[in-house]
A and B are shown apart, each in its own frame.
Chain A
Amino acid sequence: MASRDDLGLRRLLGQEMLPLLVAAMAFLAALSIGGALEAQAVSRHWQAGAARSATVLVPNPDQPLPRRDNGPEVTRIDGVLRVLRPNQDLAQVHQLSPDELGRLLGPWLGNATDPRSLRLPGVIALRLERDDVDLVVIGQQVAAIAPGTTTEGHNAWIGRLLTLATSLEACAFAVLGLVGLVAIAVVIAATRAGLAARREAIEIVHGLGAPDTYIAGRFAGRIASSAGFGGLLGTLCAAPVLAGLAVLSAPFLEGAPFALPTRIEDVPPILLAVPVLPLACALIGYLTARLTVGRWLRSLP
């Protein structure tokens, strides 16, 4: 097929607003994707953290347990700790010190109040080895040792967190979908304008025996490169904003220090999404233009 710009699309579509409009769409899409992925990452991290932790509250922690076989006197909280520490399902068993309790309750009681002066239950923070550890069994074991002891998982908190994260993701993807639809509308408008401006050239080339696929392909290729360029521009503009988002969310993603990923699975999704965006813009442009031109060409004999 002809290798030159026989339809004169380079000059026609190169100067149009299409790249700028697509750049704006890509910018919004990048922010939506970034927001969705960040929300997803933060919620996953919190969920994982919360799902693997539990709290045991021991009322009257310093009260002695009934002696067994003339053994040494053991307080209720020590008795509970003796049950918990050997448990293989628990990665960490940590009794909160009075200072730690004071820091926890500070926002409610004020710093002037010494928690030691209050009758507070003993608090043991548990870090679970796995997600599926049965807290009911553990709760029954500790309650048998020190009646009144309660074991709390964080299911309600996880549930609310999940709802919030899912809602945020849904909003972000709705925005992304809307941006995609607007981008398609913009491409259709640009393609139709191009068809109107190049009608004569198209009719001549069509009359010389160019198949619909050739003409549609020419338009689609040109629109795709414009849209891809716009997508790249928008993505580059969004990059500093996304980097800022990543910095802001970093404190919520405490964990391993930063290291260059060596496997594709380890690359943060946000980094994968960014280079895909210009390609997605080009693909949307290509397919939309191709369909639009193909449909228009059916009006020719």
Chain B
Amino acid sequence: MIRLESVGLHYGTASRPGPLVLEDISFSLPAGGFRWLQGPSGAGKSSLMRLLHLELRPSGGQLVVLDNDINVLSRHDLPALRRRIGMVFQDFRLLQHLNAFDNIALPLRLAKAPEKLIAEDVGEMLRWVELTKKASHFPPELSGGEQQRIAIARAVVGRPRLLLADEPTGNLDDTQALRQMRLLGELNRLGTTVVVATHNDSLVERFPNPSLRLEDGRLVQNG
């Protein structure tokens, strides 16, 4: 499960802190739950996602991710926890020197999965995102939408316990957006906790689930 209690976040260092980007955030999300994360640009959605992805540590308060209190967890323990989290980045963050297959395979290889299993799982993901024919293409050879689908496939291929998606359908047409959302929904049905940050209200309406709403770094709606 995920639990935040009075979590605050500011960039900068402890001695020279920048302005607060998240303030007094408290909510909990049970294992297997689904939350939309909404709010205007600059509200702090990406910062909250980065906190949940363990890219940042909270400046204050308590953050529990997959039952691990981040404040007491040592740096040495973080990689194993990160491997249980899938993340779809707004800017895809694909490795430009790896082809689509190897980009998707990366989490499995980091988890030391056997190559046979990797070939099967990555093949299945490529079929799901309808990019089997582009398995050997490199990101610069793919359109924005195709890169986004590869990023989604990479995030879910390891069957993470927690899936975080930051605007996962921003570059997709409606058909593809619905298809990828069904993939996230299926994963959620199988027990993965899912948090999806989006501006797309119509998508939220099509997949009704509880929402978290941020404004000016504060949580103004939970449910």
Contacts and interface: CB of A to CB of B under 8 A. Distances in A.
Contact of B106 (A8, A208, A211): A208
A209 B82 contact: yes
B95 interface: yes
Contacts of B206: none
A212 B79 CA distance: 8
Interface stretch (B49-57, B180-188, B193-201): B49-57
Interface string A287-301: 000000000001001
Contacts of A298: 75
A211 B97 contact: no
A67 interface: no
Interface string B74-108: 01101111111101000001111110001001110
Contacts of B55: 207, 301
Interface string A191-209: 0000000001100111111
Contact of B109 (A4, A204, A207): A4
Classify chain A: how many residues form its interface, as a range. Answer: 20 to 34
Interface residues of B, number: 31
Contacts of B116: none
B57 A8 contact: no
B16 interface: no
A205 B102 contact: no
B112 interface: yes
Interface in A248-288: none
B97 A209 contact: no
A207 B115 CA distance: 22
Interface string B95-131: 1111000100111011110010000000000000000
A210 B56 contact: no
B110 A2 contact: yes
Contact of B97 (A1, A5, A207, A214): A5
Contacts of B97: 5, 8, 11, 201
A6 interface: yes
Q: Nearest 7 pairs between A and B by C-beta?
A: A209-B83, A2-B109, A209-B82, A8-B97, A211-B79, A209-B79, A204-B93
